A and B are shown apart, each in its own frame.
Chain A
């Protein structure tokens, strides 16, 4: 584990050094942004909607004897600070990250990376940099999107479920009262960091791929699993660092 972690950290540092924003680099970033968007947005909506709904139903059940008026703060804080960023991080790693590992792995196995090197083209600048920047930029947007859809999912259940005795207006009013701008910002920062993790880790595994189709499959699986693990680890660190701040 320490070896791949070291490789991922080195790749991250090399990618930072390789950042260039010439017109063709910006074009590559936009292409990656479009890919990430098309791969994740529909599933992000579905996931966030159901998680928002389940959160409300589950919490309402627990709060039956107390007060369901805290449903808004529960859904709002959970979505913005924790579930939104982590869920989107997992989604990015599973959808776009796995594609990155497979694509770069295939390029490594079939000598396309070698072809780039023979043309004096740095694969980190050409391939990793646009992917990392695109994922880092896309994630806060995805998190915000998931926050809204999740909160809307909760409101939808409150509106139609007769077992929940709470007006949608009160749900939203209490939510806005409790969820501060700082909570949203922490979630967005987490999103950006998870976006970096969910792109650099798959790229590191992809670039290190050896062997044929088996090697590509192994890299892709490992990239997703270790992205999940690292996202949770980084999440814990960020939660601890921002403890008491919001």
Chain B
């Protein structure tokens, strides 16, 4: 049975972004319900990652509005960390762990910087989240000593440590073999089942999206051209969706 939603709603209205007159997002509208797992799929270079970076405030839209948990994003960003009513975490494509820190230090970083947890409590949290991603025992290793799949799971553990209400994933299974892809997919599905966290996943892997997502948004030329459940997506007449489905069926 799924956990009651611990997540927050996400709403994007008319989000636009251009770089040097090249339009990347041409007015994106997207509604994500609390606890929902939404995958944004599309071909490379269609602005999927740019969209994700707007949602966490790493980049600012040229136009449009983003609200998380009913709060306009600029207002949430302006709040001091201790006053934020909810937390957002992001899992980067290459995890982007700090190379100079150990795995445990990476995972504990956010809590250590903002929290008032004792060292023992921090150790407990680190141990628990690393165990939840099947990585118990790697606390003292450096990111450079881990495989790509392990780094991604440490990235997820780092996100989980602060118990965020929204997790954003940028290509969580890119460059991973099928077994590791399945591991990560199972992990994301488990987070949804056990925590009810809202999760937004950017991926070009439609097969993965169809397995784990509640709804799938297809991004093409800076616009959402399809937003439906995996089942409904199969009947979509949109040419790009047909192409993506065909490629996914071939295992490409």
Contact = CB atoms under 8 A, between A and B. Distances in A.
Contacts of B90: 115, 118
Interface in B32-85: 53, 56-58, 81, 84
A213 interface: no
Contacts of B97: 112, 115
Contacts of A103: 100
Contacts of B53: 114
B110 A110 contact: no
A214 interface: no
B92 A114 contact: yes
A105 to B, nearest CB: 13
B112 interface: yes
Tell me the dominant secondary structure on chain A's binding face: helix
Interface string A1-33: 000000000000000000000001000000000
Contacts of B113: 24, 119-121, 126
B88 interface: yes
* A114, A116, A120, A121 interface centre (most CB from chain B within 10 Å): A120
A61 interface: no
A120 B56 CA distance: 10
Contacts of B84: 120
Nearest to B95: A115
Contacts of A119: 89, 109-110, 113, 162
Contacts of B109: 119, 121
Which bracket fits the contact residues of B?
Answer: 20 to 34
Nearest to B58: A114
A24 B117 CA distance: 13
Contacts of B98: 107, 112, 115-116
Contacts of B88: 118
A170 interface: no
B112 A110 contact: no
A39 to B, nearest CB: 15
A107 B96 CA distance: 9
* B57, B89, B92, B96 interface centre (most CB from chain A within 10 Å): B96
* B57, B84, B109 interface centre (most CB from chain A within 10 Å): B109
Interface of B: 53, 56-58, 81, 84, 88-90, 92, 94, 96-100, 109-110, 112-114, 162
7 contacts: A24-B113, A110-B96, A114-B92, A119-B109, A120-B110, A121-B110, A121-B113
Given A115-B97, A118-B89, 9 more contacts: A103-B100, A110-B94, A112-B98, A114-B92, A117-B57, A118-B88, A119-B162, A120-B114, A121-B110
